[in-house]
Amino acid sequence: MEEKRKRMRELVEFLNRARRAYEQEDTEIISNYEYDRLYDELQSLEKELGTTLASSPTVNVGYEVLSELPKERHERPMLSLDKTKDVERLKEFLGGQKAMISWKLDGLTIVLTYREGELQKAVTRGNGEVGEVITNNAKVFQNLPCRIPYRGELVIRGEAVISYCDFEKINEEIEDVDARYKNPRNLCSGSVRQLNNQITAKRNVKFYAFTLVRAEGPDFHNSRLYQMKWLSEQGFDVVEHHPVTAGTIEEEVQWFARHIEENEIPSDGLVLVYDDIAYGESLGTTAKFPRDSFAFKWADEVRETTLLEIEWSPSRTGLINPVAIFDPVELEGTTVSRASVHNISIMEELELGVGDRIEVYKANMIIPQIARNLTRSGVKDIPEVCPVCGGKTQIHMENDTKTLYCTNPQCQAKHVKSFTLFVSRDAMNIEGLSEATLEKFILHGYIKDFTDIFHLDRYEEQIKNMEGFGEKSYINLQNSIENARNTTMPRLIYALGIPNVGAANAKVICRALNQDPQRILNATVEKLSEISGVGGVIAGTFVEYFADEGHRNVFLKLLDEVRIPKEESRTAEQIFSGMNFVITGSVNHFANRSEVKEEIEKRGGKVTGSVTSKTNYLINNDAASASSKNRKAKELGIPIISEDEFLELMEK
C-alpha cells in the first residue's frame, strides 16, 4: 500500500511538471499519449486508495497564469470535461436525450462579454477560476465581430485557434519559434497573450464560439442547437456541430473521424452536450466536471514497429531536434515512417535506442508520435558534432528540458534566411525553393553555399524521391534555376544579403561603380559614401562584407554561374531627382509594384513605405479608398495620383 501511495505522489509531481511545461513554458517533456496513460494510472490509484492530493491534476483544473496581463475572476468556474475513448460510454451518457456533437478545438478558451452590441471584455480560461484580460487582442482576431445586432448583455465561450496552414507560414517567419512552438495550440497561446496586439493581429488568430453562457431576452427554445444558430446569426463563427442521439452517435463519430485530416483547425477530440438546456443545468456539476457534457478522445490506432535510427535535424536557432525513423507502418489510412521526438528529455523518458521495438500512433489522428518503447535499450550516441556543419554540439538544460544545440555560428542551418533571400523574387527569383525546401536541402548536404543551388542536378534522383517532390517539380525547379542564371549585377548584390543593402541601394551602388565586379570587390568606405543615398553605415557594412575572403570567393564563383548582360547606357532623364513616392494598392500597367519602384529609381526618385511630410506623391489607383495611407496623404495635403497620372508624369 505504501508503494502505491509513493507511486501516486510521483505521478502527481511528474504530471504537474509536464503540464506546467506545456501550458506555461510552451514546451513538451512527455508525449500526449504518455500523459493520458499516466493520468489514467493516477486516477485508478486515487480510486483504489480513496485518497486524492490537493495538488493532483485530477482535481486541479489549471495553473495560475504567469504574465503581466490583468487578471479577472470568472463569474462561473470553467470546469474541465469528463472524457472517454469509448463510444459505448457516450451512448450510456446520451440515454434517451438528444444532444449536440462538435469538434473539441485545440487552442485557447476565451470568454467574451458584449454589452449594447459592443465587445466589452475578453478573458482567457486561465486556471478555470481566474483568467487574463486580453480584450485588445481579441479585437484583432481575424473573424471576431466587435459589434453585433443583439443589444443585451451576452456572455459566450469559444476557442481561439490558429490553423495548421497559418501555423506553418508563421513558424517560417519567426526566428526563435523552432525551440518554443511545437504545435498550433502553443503558438496560439503565445499569440493571444501578447502585450502588444499588433503581434496578435499578424498571427491570423480565429475565434469559434461553442457555448452561450448568458443572454437575456431571446427565446432559445430550450435548445443548445438553436443557441448555436442564433450565435451564427449574430455574426460569430461557431464550431462545426451536428445533432445526435444514442442511435446515431456511432455514425457521427465516424463522420468526424473521416474528416479530421481535412480539417484545417486543430482538434483533439469531440464534445457532446445535451441539447435540452434546462435538463443539462438541472444535473449540476461534480467538483471538476459539468454533468451535461462529455469529451470524446480518439482511441488511437497504435502499431508496433522497429526503430531504425535517430535522425538529428538542425534548425535555424541552432536547436537540433531528434527524429525517430522506423519501419513503415499503416496508421489512420497513411504510411508513416518517422516521428519527431522533440528533445533529449523525451528520449530519456522513453529510454529510446536504435533497434528498440516501439509503438507509434497519430496524435489527434494527424501527427505521428511514439506511444511506448517496449524494449527500452537506453539513449546513446547523442551526436557530438552538428550533422550539417560538423560544429561541436552542446546539451542545454532549459525549463527542466534537455535540448541539443549546434555551437557553430556559421552553421548553414542557422542561415536559412540568407538562402531564402538569395532565391527571392527581387534577388535571383528562383521559384520552387521555399524556406522549408531549402531547410531540407541544407540538412541533406545538397546546399552549403549559394553556388550549390546552381548544381542541384547532382542530387536529381534524391530530390525526385523526396516527399513533396517528383519528376515535374524537379523539372520546374531546374528550369527556374536556369532562368535565374540570366540576371543583373544589382540583383546579384542584393541576393548576397549584405547588411543594410536593400534592392534600391544595390542598384545605386552598382550604377555608381559601373557594374564592374572588381570595383565592387575593392570599393572603399570613402568612395561609397560619396554616392547619393549611400551613407556611412551602408558603406561600412558593404566594405566589411567583401573584406571577408569567404564572401569574396563565393561572389567570384557566382559570377561564373550567372550571365550578366552588359548594361546599355541608360540615360533616363532624372526627372524625379529629390522626389519621394509611396506606392499602395494594385497596379494595372506594371507586373507589380516593384516595377513601378524601378522606374522611379531609374529617374532619380526614391520610394518609401509610409506617407510623411517629405512624400511628394502617393500612387494609388483607388483615390477614394479609406486606407491609412490615403488618409495620411489627405491630412498632409499630398497629391494622390493614379497609375495613369504617374505614366503622364514619366512622359513629361
175 has a pLDDT exceeding 50: no
**What percent of the chain clears pLDDT 70, i.e. is strictly above it?**
91
| pLDDT tens digits for range 487-497 | 999 999 999 98
**Conformation bin of residue 88: beta by default, left when phi > 0, alpha when psi is -120 to 50:** alpha
Half-sphere exposure of 649 (CA within 13 A, CB side): 23
Task: For residue 445, give the DSSP letter.
Answer: T
The pLDDT-based confidence of 520 (bands split at 50, 70, 90) is: very high
* Banded pLDDT at 511 (limits 50, 70, 90): confident
In a 10 Å sphere around its CB, with 0-12 CB exposed, 13-18 middle and 19+ buried, how is residue 79 labelled? Answer: middle
Looking at residue 424, what DSSP letter applies? Answer: S
In DSSP terms, 320 is beta-bridged to 314, 404
Q: What's this model's pTM, rounded to 2 decimal places?
A: 0.50
Give the pLDDT confidence score for residue 568 in this predicted structure: 46
Tell whether the model's pLDDT for residue 461 goes beyond 70.
yes
pLDDT at 1 over 50: yes
Cell digits of residue 643:
497609375
Lowest-pLDDT choice from 236-250, 255-269, 397-411, 565-579: 565-579
Partner residues linked to 306 by β-bridges: 357
Q: What is the pLDDT of residue 530?
A: 82
Write out the catalytic residue numbers.
104
pLDDT digits (tens, 9 = 90+) for 353-383: 999 999 998 876 667 889 899 999 999 889 9
DSSP code, position 127:
T
Alpha helix (H) residue ranges in 234-368: 249-259, 277-282, 344-350
Task: Write the secondary structure of 194-240 as one string of H (helix), E (strand) and C (coil).
Answer: CCCHHHHHHCCCEEEEEEEEEECCCCCCCEHHHHHHHHHHCCCCECC
